[in-house]
Structure 1
Amino acid sequence: MSNDLDFGLDGFEPADADSEYAEQRFWAGDLTVLAEHHTTPNGSHSFVLAHDGSVTWGVPGAPQIRAIMVARDLNQNTFTFESTDHSSVAFAQNWLVERGCPPERTQVGGDFMKPADALTTRVEERLRASGARYEVLDSSTSDFDPCETWTLTRDSTAAEASIRVFLEEGDFESHTYTMREGAFADEDAARQWLDDRCGLLPQPPEYHGDAAALRARAALTRSTGASAAPKAGVEARTTPSAGTAWRPGPGRSM
């Protein structure tokens, strides 16, 4: 799917230079829409979650998920246009929700990859509803081997190990993906783990007393499905496989 979105901006002028630049940058992209919401009845706001295919030919590791918000002033015939890039769909959804998009309207449906397990769903739900809790320090997206995304953050609410890594890995065979959270004492330790991948992704301290997470891990460990998703467990480090959450299903073109 190419960029064929129409925000209905005919007759509207950018309210500021930033909006003009953001709109121009948006039209330069090659977007696959993952979710969108346009407010009614007056149509004052539009929210879009998309994958920008043009990024794959740009700087290696650059984020490919784009969140867009358009706010129209129907009295002045002007609009503001905001756009941000994220490595993970969940962080882009958080950005949209914080700006007034109903959470249920940010959900990715259709033929796109599904969460592999309850733990992935739980981590993503927490990210979507986290507000300004996580400060993004860095991120990376890989289209090759390994095919994965990670987002390095600082958790403003964590009593200890406040540096958090959110690692997303997909599996084309099962058409699913996992999202895991790791905790580190400082940024250097987190970057060292991302560089070396020595040992398991360290489990956040608060997970140890989380009965729901423990039950989910136990259930996943017992699973022996023929087309199993990446290895279960909060701290599990899987062999990366192609695909991330935005990717379409077999036969769906972009």
Structure 2
Amino acid sequence: MSDVLDFHLDDLVAANADSEYVEQRFWSGDLMVLAEHHTTADDSHSYVVAHDGSITWGIPGKPQVAAFKVSRDPILNTFTVEASYHATVPFAQNWLIEHGCPPERIARVGDGFMTPADNLTVQVEQQIRESGSRYEVLDSQTWDIDLCETWTLTHDSHADQVPVRVFLEEGNRDARTYTMREGAFADEVTARHWLGDRSSQLPCPPEFRGEATALRTRAAFARSGGASAMPKAGVDAHRTPPAGTTHRPNPERSM
């Protein structure tokens, strides 16, 4: 995996105005590659997930993970490029998979970034990554200072009950790990109230409750038995962003 973003556009020109705008909008120095896949067929493609450091200096809370799909036509010497922003890496990977990237080629994040703290995090991320168009993103917030927390508010089209889902990612800089948890709510108002209040645990989805509880119990038992410290799970986090919180670049985050 390359540390430098390269769409392999040498001697190619944009096929349309939208692609030209997207290509000129980004500076490679702002983008840290997290995952990528490139093909070299006649109609070659690049699929890239990257952290956009420039976002940390903009409006607080905006998504910082960019997904890029580039298509190159060597016969016409042209390219097209599409970009989409997401709060966390699994949603960016999902977007690329929906746009033609082989799932197994974009699933792995490069070395040197935060890693999942537990099996439940791995399971929830895979669920998002392979969900297709299941989740409609309603809102998201990213804090990369103090809290190192990101949430994505969605509507789950596969849920018969409590269809509003919150995916809460919480990082632990000291351990260089993060957790991802899914919460289920009856409606958007209730979900937003929980996000602002945090006086109760994140409600577990009913279809996932038994397995999630078992995983949490095993993690708690390991901690009480003297195992190496793990970050506090997002379901136990009652913290809210401190007043006046501002963004700072945090390239070590896995997103």
| 1:48-82 Cα distance to aligned partner (Å, 9 max, x none) | 11111111111100111111110112332221100
CA distance in 1, matches of 2:135, 2:29: 27
Letter paired with 1:170: G
CA contact (8 A) 1:114 1:177 kept: yes
Instruction: Give the unaligned 5+ runs of structure 2.
Output: 242-247
SS of the residue corresponding to residue 223 of structure 1 reads: helix
1:157 is matched with 158
Deviation for aligned residue 1:47? 0.8
| Identity fraction in percent | 58
CA contact (8 A) 2:114 2:177 kept: yes
CA distance in 1, matches of 2:188, 2:237: 19
2:30 is matched with 30
Letter paired with 1:194: L
CA contact (8 A) 2:148 2:172 kept: no
What is the root-mean-square deviation in Å for CA atoms of aligned residues? 2.7
CA distance in 1, matches of 2:228, 2:61: 29
2:56 is matched with 56
SS of the residue corresponding to residue 6 of structure 2 reads: coil
1:177 is matched with 178
Deviation for aligned residue 1:238? 6.2
| 1:185-239 Cα distance to aligned partner (Å, 9 max, x none) | 111111111112121111111123x4x333322211201245422235x843366
CA contact (8 A) 1:3 1:29 kept: no
Letter paired with 2:161: E
CA contact (8 A) 1:22 1:83 kept: yes
CA contact (8 A) 1:13 1:77 kept: yes
CA distance in 1, matches of 2:149, 2:112: 19
C-alpha spacing 1:15/1:168, structure 2 compared with 1 (3 Å): same
- Size of the alignment, in residue pairs? 244
CA distance in 1, matches of 2:10, 2:176: 40
Instruction: Give the unaligned 5+ runs of structure 1.
Output: 250-254
1:252 is matched with none
CA distance in 2, matches of 1:223, 1:3: 36
| 1:6-40 Cα distance to aligned partner (Å, 9 max, x none) | 32223322222211111112237601111111103
Structure-2-length-normalised TM-score = 0.87
Structure-1-length-normalised TM-score = 0.87
SS of the residue corresponding to residue 217 of structure 1 reads: helix
